Structure 1
């Protein structure tokens, strides 16, 4: 991964997970609730067959990098991220803890159900 520093964390994102609410039938349902807000860097993915196929289906894959902390280490594939500026919603598809233990890379996709 390319070297990042604090200046690259240009965007603010709300990290949200679904609230666990029992519907009375044994199912857990609920809306997404913001757990915390952090700074992030975006890297839009280009090229490759899967990326081009996703774009044809109106999906937008992006790699969102956040600083590793006790909060961000909680993020998993059932969370979603929301851009604080424009409200773009990103479904988290994969979480990769970088080997330097300083950054967490989140493979996300917009235009899909979370």
Structure 2
């Protein structure tokens, strides 16, 4: 069961959007879609996790409440930790396993 006390982090979910630069050109920048409360679950010591840590990257599991907006998150989005400012690339989205939550696997320190 998920309770509000376990969602002690604040994250912003950003989607890449085509933005005009005012000179007739367009560029793709991330634009915030929404913010949510979340729980961070630090990944264990698998071989992939250890390899990423050696390269200065962190892999996290993030749990969000499932709603209409959170079900639209894709692997082409990014997650930002609002409090710390860390940006994470979203590698995996699981909106099926749990009827109440969306689980994200995210990695810091990589270009999105």
TM-score w.r.t. structure 2 length? 0.89
Aligned to 1:6: 4
Aligned to 1:34: 32
Query: After superposition, what is the alpha-carbon deviation per residue over 1:16-46, rounded to whole angstroms, capped at 9, x for unaligned?
Result: 00112479xxxx7411100001000000112
Worse-matched range after superposition: 95-104 or 31-40 = 95-104
Cα RMSD for the two superposed structures: 1.8
Please give the alpha-carbon distance, in whole angstroms, between the structure 2 residues aligned to 1:59 and 1:34: 23
Q: 3-state DSSP class of the match of 2:49?
A: helix
Aligned to 1:68: 66
Structure 1 runs of 4+ with >2 Å offset: 20-23
Q: How many residues were matched structurally?
A: 109
Q: Which runs of 5+ in 2 are unaligned?
A: none
Please give the alpha-carbon distance, in whole angstroms, between the structure 1 residues aligned to 2:75 and 2:65: 17
Aligned to 1:110: 108
Residue 95 (structure 1) aligned to one of 84, 93, 96 = 93
Q: 3-state DSSP class of the match of 1:46?
A: coil
Q: Which runs of 5+ in 1 are unaligned?
A: none
**Pairing 1:14-53 to 2, within 5 Å after superposition:** 14-21=12-19, 29-53=27-51
Q: 3-state DSSP class of the match of 1:58?
A: coil
Please give the alpha-carbon distance, in whole angstroms, between the structure 1 residues aligned to 2:98 and 2:87: 28
